[in-house]
Amino acid sequence: MAIQWFPGHMHLTRKAIEERIKDIDVVIEMLDARLPGSSANPMLAQLIQGKPGLKILSKQDLADPVQTQSWLAHYNAMTNVKAIGLDTSMVSPAKALIEACHQLAPNRGGMAKPMRVLICGIPNVGKSTLINTLKGKKAAKTGDEAGVTKIEQRITLADDFYLYDTPGVLWPRIIVEKSGYNLAASGAIGVNAFDDEEVALELLNYLIEHYPGVITARYKIENVSEHTDETLLEAVARYRGAIQSGGRVNTTKAAEIVIHDFRSAALGRLTLETPDQFAAWLASGLKADADRAAKKEALNKEKKKSRKTKS
């Protein structure tokens, strides 16, 4: 089942970005280093109108370091784009951010031409935490919940450097089904928009193939590759004592455990997609979307033809 989540305030944020972008020199998009492709907003790509872009891979301390380097190389190979990794251990994030922006827009700076930067990102990607670090105080609300920031605010990082913060925003329709599951696993989607068991099963399915060792290490389950995602979830339930009356396993509770262990990095440093994997998912999603649109158009034409025949 495809996961979708686009509350009303996100539509307002989209409109605000459309207005603000006209006066912006550099657009910063914060991405989750565990799912960089899935956390990149395709709607934003349409809105920024070719502006220089800085991709910040946040939470890189939770992600697979090898895959983080692969994603950084992927983005740094793009024209008019820079990418840097970021986590809570970085000593001078403001300096790194300001330097990267000046490299992208070297003609901006000084009181006559102050740098104007817009920072965007999906919900719960760590944007508010970064802003508080940059300011050295609580300039933005933070919380382990999607959609905490609700209004735009301007933050002065230097006399000639203005940062405009926007609420976390997704996009009206997620066409890459796998992205919906990865976003839900990361905490970027409201809890009422998805089923924990479905998300946990998708997560376990990926871990079986790409990170079987973390399952053995965390839940003491051997021969992980011989399991399906469903039998693995049941094994996690038994190991963690998620048992209902009559000895039945509580897979709902087990799903909550797996998702929590991923988000907290109790499973280790994991990345749920590579650039090549995401490119394949995106191509498949675009094709399926085009096929749906063609079928809808054909159906509408058939209905119009039928109405004309009857009249």
**pLDDT tens column, 129-185:** 888 887 775 444 444 444 444 456 788 888 899 999 877 776 667 889 999 999 999
> Whole-angstrom Cα distance, residue 130 to residue 179?
24
Q: Which residues pair with 165 in a beta bridge?
A: 119, 153
> Whole-angstrom Cα distance, residue 250 to residue 237?
6
More confident residue, 249 or 21: 249
Q: Give pLDDT, residue 311.
A: 62
Contact call for residues 184 and 34 (beta carbons, < 8 A):
no
Tell me which H or E stretch contains 236: helix 229-239
- The hierarchical CATH code for the domain 195-263 is 1.10.1580.10
| % of the chain exceeding 70 in pLDDT | 88
Q: Which residues contact 225 (CB under 8 A, 6 or more apart)?
A: 208, 212
Closest CA to 253 of 197, 199, 193, 214: 197
3-state DSSP call for residue 163? Answer: strand
pLDDT confidence of 266, banded at 50, 70, 90? very high
Contact call for residues 33 and 90 (beta carbons, < 8 A):
no
> Whole-angstrom Cα distance, residue 175 to residue 146?
20
pLDDT confidence of 2, banded at 50, 70, 90? low
- CATH fold of 9-165 reads Rossmann fold (3.40.50)
> Whole-angstrom Cα distance, residue 244 to residue 203?
23
pLDDT for 190-213, tens place per residue? 888 899 999 999 999 999 999 999
Where do the CATH 1.10.1580.10 domains begin and end in the chain? 195-263
Span 250-254, average pLDDT: 96
Q: Give pLDDT, residue 138.
A: 46
Question: What does the H/E/C string look like for 253-294?
Answer: HHHHHHHHHHHCCCCCCCCCCCHHHHHHHHHHHHHHHHHHHH
C-beta neighbour count of 179 within 10 angstroms: 25
Q: What is the pTM of this model?
A: 0.85
Is residue 259 predicted with pLDDT exceeding 90?
Answer: yes
Q: Checking DSSP bridges between strand 161-165 and strand 153-158, what pairing results, if any?
A: antiparallel
Q: Which residues contact 151 (CB under 8 A, 6 or more apart)?
A: 167
Where do the CATH 3.40.50.300 domains begin and end in the chain? 9-165
Closest CA to 31 of 8, 13, 54: 54
Structure tokens at 52: 């220089």
Read off φ and ψ for residue 15, nearest 5 degrees. Answer: -65, -40
First to last CA, the chain: 40
Structure tokens at 167: 């609420």
C-beta neighbour count of 275 within 10 angstroms: 16
Span 254-279, average pLDDT: 97
